[in-house]
Amino acid sequence: MVPFLRKVAIVSAGMTKFGKHDGKSLLDLMSEAALEALSVYDSLDIDMLVGATMAPELYENSVGPINKLAGVLGLEGKTVLRVENTSGSGGAGIFVGYLAVASGYADKVLVVGGEKMTSKSTEENAYIISGLLHDCERSLGVTLPSYAALLANWYFRKYNPPKDSLAHVAIKNHYHGSLNPKAHIQKRITLEEYFQSKIVAEPLRVMDYTPISDGAASVLLMALDEAYSYTDKPVVISAVVGKTDSFVVHERDELDRMNGVALSVEKALSQAGLRREDIDLIELHDMATILEIVELENMGFFKRGEGWRGAMEKITWLDGELPVNTSGGLKSKGHPIGATGVAQAYEVFLQMRREAGERQAKKNVSRALSMSMGGFGQNAYTIIYEAGW
Partner 1 sequence: MVRVQVCRRCGRINLPFKYRCKCGSREFDYIEMNIEGTLVATTKIFITPKGYPSPLLVGLVDAGNLKLLVRLEEEAPVGNVIEVVQADGGVLVGRPKKLVTDGS
Nearer to partner 1, 159 or 175 (CB): 159
Answer yes or no whether residue 126 interacts with partner 1 by CB under 8 A: yes
* Residue 172: its H or E element: helix 165-178
By CB under 8 A, residue 145 contacts partner 1: yes
**Which helix (H) or strand (E) covers residue 78, if one does?**
none
259 binds partner 1 (CB under 8 A): no
Rounded to a whole number of angstroms, the CA Rg of the chain reads 19
Choose the binding region for partner 1 from 78-86, 153-161, 214-222, 365-373 (rule: CB under 8 A): 153-161
Q: Taking the C-alpha atoms of 202, 175, 36 and 337 in order, what is their torsion angle to the nearest 10 degrees?
A: -10
Scan residues 170-209 and list those touching partner 1 (CB under 8 A): 198-203
Q: What is the Cα–Cα distance from 260 to 244, expressed in whole angstroms?
A: 5
For residue 154, state whether it binds partner 1 (rule: CB under 8 A): yes
* Closer residue to partner 1, CB minimum distance, 42 or 123: 123
290 near partner 1, rule: CB under 8 A: no
| Residue whose CB is less far from partner 1, 121 or 229 | 121
Q: Is 124 in the site for partner 1 (CB under 8 A)?
A: yes
Among 10-18, 102-110, 129-137, 289-297, the segment contacting partner 1 (CB under 8 A): 129-137
- Our finding on whether 144 is near partner 1 (CB under 8 A) is no
Q: Which of residues 203-232 bind partner 1 (CB under 8 A)?
A: 203
Q: Is 366 in the site for partner 1 (CB under 8 A)?
A: no
112 in Cβ contact with 51 (< 8 Å):
yes
Residue with Cβ nearer partner 1 (151 or 237): 151
Give the 3-state secondary structure percentages of the chain, helix then strand then coil, rounded to 5: 40, 20, 40
How many whole angstroms separate alpha carbon 289 and alpha carbon 311?
A: 10
Is the Cβ–Cβ distance between 16 and 10 less than 8 Å?
A: no
Q: Which member of 157, 192, 232, 303 binds partner 1 (CB under 8 A)?
A: 157
Task: Mark the segment that binds partner 1 (CB under 8 A) among 107-115, 131-139, 214-222, 366-374.
Answer: 131-139
- Show contacts of 349-355: CB within 8 Å, 24+ apart: 349/10, 349/13, 349/219, 349/235, 349/385, 350/13, 351/281, 351/323, 351/326, 352/233, 352/235, 352/385, 352/387, 353/233, 353/235
* Nearer CB in complex with partner 1: 250/275: 250
By CB under 8 A, name the one of 63, 72, 136, 191 that touches partner 1. 136
Q: Do the beta carbons of residue 47 and residue 75 sit within 8 Å?
A: no
Nearest CB to partner 1, comparing residues 157 and 303:
157
Task: Please classify residue 234 by burial: count the beta carbons closer than 10 Å to its beta carbon, then call 0-12 exposed, 13-18 middle and 19+ buried.
Answer: buried
User: Given the rule CB under 8 A, which residues bind partner 1?
Assistant: 122-124, 126-127, 130, 134-137, 139-143, 145-146, 149-151, 153-154, 157, 198-203, 248-252, 255
